[in-house]
Amino acid sequence: MNDAQMHALAERHGTPLHLLDLDRIRARFGALRAAFPDAEFRYAVKANPSTALLALVAASGAGAETITEGELARAVRAGIPGERLLIGGPGQGPELRRRARDAGAALASLDSEDQWRAWRGDGPGRTRFLIRVNPGFDPGTHPHLATGAADSKFGLPPGRAAALAAEVAADGVLDGFHVHAGSMLADASTHPRILDLLAPLFDRFDGARTVDLGGGFAPDADLAPFAAAVLPFVRSRGLRLILEPGRWPTADAGRLLTRVLARKEGATVHWICDAGMAQLARPALYGAEHPIRVVPVPGRPPAPVARGEVQGPLCENADRLGRDRTLAAGVGDLLEVGQVGAYGTSMESNYASSLRPAEVTIEHGAPHLARRAETVDDLWRHDVGPD
Ligand SMILES: Cc1ncc(COP(=O)(O)O)c(C=O)c1O
């Protein structure tokens, strides 16, 4: 997508505007398959629930990892069949379980003993189970993303995982073990540690034939060392490998276009934009830094270069897009915020009655309006009353 096309789309659909490059996502899934030829992929829908993206996942033969009723409904609607559905997450309430049963979801990852009792109480179904193991180490990522840390709410320590596996195996529905150690992993040394921990569990439970290593690859992570760590383990034991990537295939396929509403000069410049934490929560939530650049207008001289903060329009200090940036941005300029394909639209909110922007997908080079922008009427669509 070149600068002129971005300007044209911003004019046509307004800003803020999400762009999602499906060609890029298709290529990234191809790279995943090439790196892990033995793996089955269960795309983590939480990264980006775009309907067009899920349709692409369905057509590619991959499946989906879903943690809410809404995600599961989206995956089913996109045509992902039950045998490629995996239910995850520490909650898994009755609506999610009922919908999973109706969809014939092949797998669920059990995060606690109570979760197993709830599934068991529902009566027999098609679903088989993985036990989520808490590996008990921080993979060195942001604390919010370190789901493998011993004090995190996720999974069970190996001893308890084994006890639960014995119960599930006694019912004949144990399929394997699952670890998702964290997100934004760039260092493959996490995976041998995880496999060392899982080996005794697979030694003990003959019926366990699936190892699910979650997702977590940082967008710029080299997959080769991860594959080198994982594939010998899987092949030597004849296991089925499942991976649940969310961020890796999607992050760099998404862009957010936003316009500068004000440039406040001072000790530091504040560029106030029409997008912020309601459209992209990651900077506020994780201190994430996204690439930001001015989309130049040919023939128009750039604004003076300054150093400062790229801010959102809301009344929160956390409402910002980028810190300490050097930009030649002035009022009316269009900014491109990069790497928003993962955990961008999926974390949007209506905070301060902000409106969710339109989304344009790009496929075979051509743009397509995939989601219209919300209007103020959408804000009270679900209200009841006042009469
Ligand atoms: C269980 C599980 N699987 C997969 C993912 C996807 O992770 P990522 O988007 O970093 O690949 C997550 C993210 O939170 C997760 O919790």
Looking only at the bridges linking them, the beta strands covering 306-311 and 269-273 are parallel
Q: Which atom of ligand 1 is nearest to the CA of 178?
A: 1
Q: Kindly state the tokens that stand for 99.
A: 């919908």
Residue 155 pLDDT > 80, yes or no? yes
Q: Which CATH class is domain 3-16+251-374?
A: mainly beta
Q: What is the mean pLDDT of the chain?
A: 96
* pLDDT for the residue 360: 98
Q: How confident is the model at residue 136 (pLDDT cuts 50, 70, 90)?
A: confident
Tell whether the model's pLDDT for residue 142 goes beyond 80. no
Q: What is the mean pLDDT of residues 357-382?
A: 96
For residue 178, report the distance from its CA to the centre of ligand 1, in Å: 12
Torsion of CA 13, 14, 19, 22, to 10 degrees: 0
Which pLDDT belongs to residue 43?
98
Residue of 30, 195, 174, 34 whose CA lies nearest to 109: 174
Query: Ligand 1: which atom is nearest the Cα of residue 343?
Result: 9
Q: What is the mean pLDDT of residues 224-244?
A: 97
pLDDT at 122: 95
Instruction: Provide mean pLDDT across the span 146-151.
Output: 74
Residue ranges lining ligand 1, Cβ < 6 Å? 44, 47, 65, 88, 147, 180, 183, 214-217, 244-248, 342
* Comma-separated ranges of CATH 2.40.37.10 domains in the chain: 3-16+251-374
Q: DSSP code of 228?
A: H
24-55 pLDDT, tens digit per residue, is: 999 999 999 999 999 999 999 999 999 999 99
Position 110 confidence tier, pLDDT thresholds 50, 70, 90: very high
Q: Where in the chain is the domain with CATH 3.20.20.10?
A: 22-245
- CATH 3.20.20.10 for domain 22-245, yes or no, is yes
- Average the pLDDT over 233-260 and give the result: 98
Q: What is the pLDDT confidence band of residue 86, given thresholds at 50, 70 and 90?
A: very high
DSSP three-state, residue 202: helix
